[in-house]
């Protein structure tokens, strides 16, 4: 079965970038040029460019054109997405290492974050998400077992915690803080970074209709990751 034209265009663009033919900041063909090259409409070409821009592969500048984005992987500040999907949408390989999946007693800070009693039993997981076999995110997550009783039974090499939680306790609210941090020796090893490299840390609490579902600490190497977003305001 033939793939859709917009997907074919995306594959072509990603292939040119991955092969090194188009380097960082190189201008990519216009909508008209792509439409002519692939014998399709401008709208189809525009969809391919827009999706790759949304995924951080390309950058568009009004009046100047579309360019190959910087090498750092980009996530949205405004939308919570599954990291596996973000990586795959960039045309890159995704893999994960599950380091920890256990039941623990809630410390004071975690009890407050999850709105549970101090020392009550909660679920704790640590995973390393990789892009092209390089660590992109260490995810440390604490989960409310009352709302997600089967969390410890999951195989997160098949499905990310975000995917699973979205299914069993659909997200209704989220709060996050973002800050620059220096990783300790354990995080440095997990992210495969030197001691001098700064990291970007996101602390995120998520709610379903029944209450707080999870509290996560997401740490990314500064050299491989950035956050971005686009806001449109009505006049």
Each domain of the chain, given as residue ranges in start order, spans 5-68, 73-228
Cα–Cα dist 21/215, whole Å: 42
With 0-12 CB in 10 A as exposed, 13-18 as middle and 19+ as buried, what is 1?
exposed
Mean pLDDT computed over 24-42? 91
Tens digits of residue pLDDT in 76-119: 444 578 899 888 888 889 999 999 999 999 999 999 999 999 99
Asked if CATH classification 1.10.287.470 holds for the domain at 5-68, the reply, yes or no, is no
Strand 198-208 vs strand 211-221: parallel, antiparallel, or unpaired?
A: antiparallel
Tens digits of residue pLDDT in 210-227: 899 999 999 999 888 777
Predicted confidence at residue 160, as pLDDT, reads 95
Dihedral of the alpha carbons of 73, 79, 106, 122, in degrees to the nearest 10 = -100
Tens digits of residue pLDDT in 140-169: 999 999 999 999 999 999 999 999 999 999
Handedness of CA 155, 157, 158, 164 (dihedral sign): positive
Predicted confidence at residue 78, as pLDDT, reads 46
Q: What is the pTM of this model?
A: 0.70
Q: Where are the beta strands (DSSP E) in 144-190?
A: 173-182
Query: Quick one: fold of 73-228?
Result: Chorismate lyase (3.40.1410)
Q: Say whether 73-228 and 5-68 share the same fold.
A: no
Q: What is the CA 15 to chain-centroid distance, rounded? A: 21
Cα–Cα dist 5/141, whole Å: 39
């Amino acid at each position: 079965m033939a793939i859709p034209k917009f997907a074919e265009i995306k594959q072509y663009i990603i292939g040119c970038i991955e092969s090194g033919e188009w380097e960082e900041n190189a201008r990519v063909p216009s909508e008209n040029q792509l439409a002519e090259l692939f014998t399709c409409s401008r709208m189809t070409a525009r969809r391919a460019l827009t999706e790759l821009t949304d995924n951080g592969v390309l950058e568009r500048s009004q009046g100047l054109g579309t360019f190959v984005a910087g090498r750092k992987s980009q996530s949205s500040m405004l939308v919570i997405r599954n990291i596996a999907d973000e990586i795959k949408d960039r045309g890159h390989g995704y893999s994960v290492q599950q380091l920890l999946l256990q039941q623990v007693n809630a410390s004071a800070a975690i009890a407050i974050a999850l709105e549970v009693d101090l020392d009550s039993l909660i679920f704790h997981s640590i995973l390393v998400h990789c892009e092209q076999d390089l660590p992109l995110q260490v995810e440390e997550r604490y989960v409310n077992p009352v709302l997600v009783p089967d969390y410890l039974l999951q195989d997160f090499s098949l499905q990310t915690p975000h995917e699973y939680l979205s299914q069993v306790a659909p997200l209704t609210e989220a709060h996050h803080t973002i800050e620059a941090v220096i990783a300790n020796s354990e995080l440095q090893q997990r992210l495969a970074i030197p001691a001098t490299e700064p990291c970007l840390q996101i602390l995120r609490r998520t709610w379903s209709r029944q209450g707080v579902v999870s509290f996560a600490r997401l740490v990314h190497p500064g050299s491989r990751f950035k956050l971005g977003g686009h806001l449109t305001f009505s006049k």
